[in-house]
A and B are shown apart, each in its own frame.
Chain A
Amino acid sequence: MSTTRPTTGTRLARALVCALLTAGCGPQTGGGTVTPGTSGSGGSDPDPQGVTEGEGMGELRKRLGDLVDRERGLRPSATSDAGKCEELCELATSICSVQEKLCELADDHPDDDAYQGLCREARNECREAQESCVRCVETNQNQSLPPQ
């Protein structure tokens, strides 16, 4: 069943990378960037925080650029969603191929409720998994369209 397997090499590589990353990184501390309104004081301190911000055209343009970048960072990344969709669709393929094997065996036991019940359940899981794959791809396509 090739579809359920990321290869063993891939998995081992992932395990190694995880181990190394966890070993190499301590808890995240602040990024060091001072931005207005991020003092965490709950808005009780209205004074500006951080360096004085200029009012000139160049500085305003730079601030706008920074804000656009931040907004992009907050939006779910289309790239990571594509990876998620790929995984969901792979799972759907695997579930449905196992369902076929299961129901083929169940056909040999037409009068056995246990076999028939498990085949029905497997068909439902296959359908749900396929719907979930399609939903993910459609959502991802809509998100990756440029804003009107």
Chain B
Amino acid sequence: MRSPRNFVLGTVMAAMLASLGACDPEGDRELGASPDARISIHAVQPGAPTREGLAYIEAVARVHAEADGTTDVDAQGAALRRGLALPVPAGLAEAEVLRLELATRLGETLASRPEGVAVALDLLEPMLDPERSLPLDRASARALVTLGDLAVEAGDDALAVGSYSRAIRVMSSLRKELER
């Protein structure tokens, strides 16, 4: 017969197992949550051009060219990581968009291998946190769509739907800007 102590222990174990079942294999993603479609957007105000800004833009262009020039996923990833590590010159508002593009491309590169999906999510999710304001640019929409695609692969429907919805809101804002 089951003792009360065993019953409590069993209940606790069952609850723990149930909660584990609701998480991804990495153990830090809560599945089954409600989609978070909050979005805050800001316009990118171009700053005064500087020599450092131009050098940064050229360095990012070189990184993309390097990634374009190879089919080796590791080499592409290494180049894009170097691009993300470039120090951003003060006052270069456009850098925010360029960094989003680098991160999106790196995320897509990482996710080309099944084991890279979780790493790509860890890279993009904090950059696109609903608490953070995103630049009003197609780069934001594209990054959110990539995040949604990664979430689908990870089986996180809430994150996927939230990201897709936020991407649509960014694109709708861009459309309204164009129509003005």
Contact = CB atoms under 8 A, between A and B. Distances in A.
Given A1-B142, A16-B58, A102-B165, 12 more contacts: A1-B145, A4-B141, A8-B105, A22-B46, A91-B174, A102-B160, A114-B34, A115-B157, A118-B37, A121-B165, A126-B168, A132-B175
Interface of A: 1, 4-6, 8-9, 11-12, 15-16, 18-20, 22-23, 84, 87-88, 91-92, 94-95, 98-99, 101-102, 105-106, 108-109, 112, 114-115, 118, 121-122, 125-126, 128-129, 132, 136
Tell me the dominant secondary structure on chain B's binding face: helix
A58 to B, nearest CB: 44
B107 interface: no
B64 interface: yes
Contacts of B160: 101-102, 105
Nearest to B97: A11
Interface residues of B, number: 42
Interface stretch (B6-14, B22-30, B49-57, B110-118): B49-57
A5 B72 CA distance: 23
Pick from A18, A19, A84, A88 the residue with the most CB of B within 10 Å.
A19
Contacts of A136: 179
B18 interface: no
